[in-house]
Structure 1
Amino acid sequence: MKKTFEDFLNETNQFLGWDFSFITETDRMTSEPLSWSYGSMAYSLLPFVKVMLDMGTGGGEFLSKLRPLPIQTYATEGYEPNVSLAINRLEPLGVNVFPIESDEELPFENQFFDLILNKHESYSPKGIRRVMKRDGIFLIQQVGGQDCIEINNALGAPINSEYEKWNLQTALAELKESGFRILSSKEEYPYQRFYDLGSLIYYLNAIPWQVEKFNVEDFRENLLKLYNLIEKEGYFDVRQHRFYIKAIAI
């Protein structure tokens, strides 16, 4: 016996924080490694930092694993359900967690941070430059606008026009214009593989901007086609879109 198409449609799994372990640690979804490690780059910077910010910390999953952290470490989170998770995980480590509503109005003084980390979170280049000390480092990894568009194509769903043109070239130009010098950067398109329909549905519920207003009933017909494809091939492959930038405030 194995799960049917209807079984996958009827699953209810709640996504909390920024943790995909429900489908990654069970090998239901896997991703091709990038040629860089954002975590290693961030970790190597910490010994030289006194005041640091992690933007879009989610439930604090990533930041909590970078210990030992600088004495003054701060985190922001804009998704309300994650704020309490971040507070519970990070405040015992001495991290101050701030809920935010606007990227441009960060609740910090001018020229406050030596290091700002941002993994897969939106940001305002001008807002970042305001709170960044001269010679401070801004290290980001972003999801580009072409991320996993094969999902949209398979479901007959439009690509989110707000992010469609978001790429390394655009991000570099914005940072240079806002008072940063680029130290290094790279852009890649690794594959992401789904081994069952349930893992794809879980992913789409966790990433609501991939397919806006996603629900299984509206996309039932094309979900069935994907279910049959996975039954035949054993998986469904898409291409991620990732880039990183390491920049210094000038």
Structure 2
Amino acid sequence: MTASARTFEELVDEAESVSVDGWDFSWLDGRATEQRPSWGYQRLMAERLAAASAALDIQTGGGEVLAGARKLPPVMAATESWPPNLAKASRLLRPRGVVVVADRDEPPLPFADGAFDLVTSRHPVRAHWSEIARVLEPGGTYLSQQVGPRSVAKVTEFFLGPQDRRALDARHPDHARAEAEAAGLEVVDLRYEELRTEFYDVGAMIYFLRKVIWIVPGFTVDAHRERLRALHDQIHADGPFLATTTRFLIEARKP
């Protein structure tokens, strides 16, 4: 039975019970779509990793993105804070010689000064630029794809109402450039794109909000059931729920 033919309660029960461990979104195949940035972060990351001698992947999630690289450097470490993701990343990456370190995503990073010639991070909650600069060796590079300003703000405001514009703009790439330069890094590449995102059923939205917890802080089905019911009815009447995702790519080098 297709999702569109199922009842609100059936969709809710399914999405509320499925595991959201790791950073694999394949459960959403056919139920939600997100346009991908043109630069292809995983390909760029893999190219840099193949040429590195010692690398660190910060906030690796379940390790899925890092595991997609065909060749890893002789020294490879990754950090993660959330226990379910930490366990998943360890199972996935340890056979490839990656040291996965539990880290609370707050300074300092548990590594020595100048330990790496490459640091990467896909969608960090926050980039601690002074720590990134510290663990990079001179000439080393930081490569990251990050969530941009007002990303899926339409989702946030559907559930929580109008938001502070300044808070929604906090992730602007210009701010990242300024913070990187203040930490002593030279920004050598900065690209920004706005991308189309669609949700085809309320279950897809529930799964997304359970997994990407900062979009609607404190989200639970019980607390937001009324809005979820409204969303279900809206999708049935008008078609997919549309939102705009924003992403930026930043590459910075330590002089």
Name the CA shift for 1:108/1:223 in 2 (closer, same or farther; >3 Å): same
Secondary structure in structure 1 of the residue aligned to 2:20? coil
Q: CA deviation at 1:163?
A: 6.3
Contact 2:123/2:145 (CA < 8 Å) preserved in 1? Answer: yes
2:233 aligned with 1:228, yes or no? yes
Q: Is the 8 A contact 2:187 2:253 kept in 1?
A: yes
Report the TM-score when normalising by structure 1: 0.93
Q: Which amino acid aligns with 1:131?
A: V
Q: How big is each residue's C-alpha offset from its partner over 1:92-126, in whole Å with a ceiling of 9 and x where there is no partner?
A: 10001111014321111101111001100122100
User: Residue 175 of structure 1: CA displacement?
Assistant: 0.2
2:65 counterpart of 1:62:
yes
1:117 counterpart residue number: 120
Structural mapping, 1:151-190, within 5 Å = 151-157=155-161, 159=163, 164-190=169-195
1:1-250 aligned at under 5 Å gives the runs 2-11=5-14, 12-23=17-28, 26-121=29-124, 122-157=126-161, 159=163, 164-250=169-255
Any gaps of 5 or more consecutive residues in structure 2? none
Cα distance in 1 for partners of 2:103, 2:195 equals 31
CA distance in 1, matches of 2:237, 2:148: 30
* Cα distance in structure 1, aligned partners of 2:119 and 2:6: 44
Gaps of 5+ in 1: none
4+ runs deviating over 3 angstroms? 156-164
Paired with 2:98 and 2:172, the residues of 1 have a C-alpha distance of 31
Deviation at 1:146, TM superposition (A): 1.0
**Identity percentage of aligned residues:** 33
Superposed CA deviations along residues 112-157 of structure 1, whole A, max 9, x for unmatched, are: 1110011001221001111101110100111124111101222234
1:180-223, Cα deviation, whole Å (9 max, x unpaired)? 11111111110111111100011011111111111223222222
**Residues in 2 aligned to 1:47 and 1:8: alpha-carbon distance in whole angstroms:** 43
Conserved in 1, the CA contact under 8 Å of 2:107 and 2:128?
A: yes
